[in-house]
Amino acid sequence: GIQVEQSPPDLILQEGANSTLRCNFSDSVNNLQWFHQNPWGQLINLFYIPSGTKQNGRLSATTVATERYSLLYISSSQTTDSGVYFCAVPYSGGGADGLTFGKGTHLIIQP
């Protein structure tokens, strides 16, 4: 099946810093999502981005489908950005059988 690799696995930054999280996947996809899991375990949808670039406030994401990677940018980090960031792609082309997840990037923003 398709493999999803995220880097770095852990990242510790000071408040106000910028960061780039990477997601590589092993096969062509027609869907890619970024999630943020907060300290209470809730998975929050950040971006649905099969290709191109999207921005939402301090966060933006870029997916280059032809090169099989996606990047999540966080600017001017705040302590509330702490948590685990996951990217996920479909198990198969149709997508009805769900998404497979990377192992995540654990981000800690220190005040």
Partner 1 sequence: SQTIHQWPATLVQPVGSPLSLECTVEGTSNPNLYWYRQAAGRGLQLLFYSVGIGQISSEVPQNLSASRPQDRQFILSSKKLLLSDSGFYLCAWSSGGELFFGEGSRLTVL
Binding status of residue 8 toward partner 1 by CB under 8 A: no
Among 26, 58, 98, 108, binds partner 1 (CB under 8 A): 98
Residue 76 CB, shortest distance to partner 1, in Å, is 25
Quick one: 69 or 91, whose CB is closer to partner 1?
91
Binding status of residue 24 toward partner 1 by CB under 8 A: no
* Residue ranges of E strands in the chain: 4-7, 10-14, 19-25, 33-37, 43-48, 52-56, 59-64, 69-74, 83-90, 99-101, 105-110
Unique residue bearing structure tokens 């005040």: 111
Binding status of residue 106 toward partner 1 by CB under 8 A: yes
Residue 105 CB, shortest distance to partner 1, in Å, is 9
Binding status of residue 103 toward partner 1 by CB under 8 A: yes
Binding status of residue 100 toward partner 1 by CB under 8 A: yes
The answer to whether 21 and 106 are in contact (CB under 8 A) is no
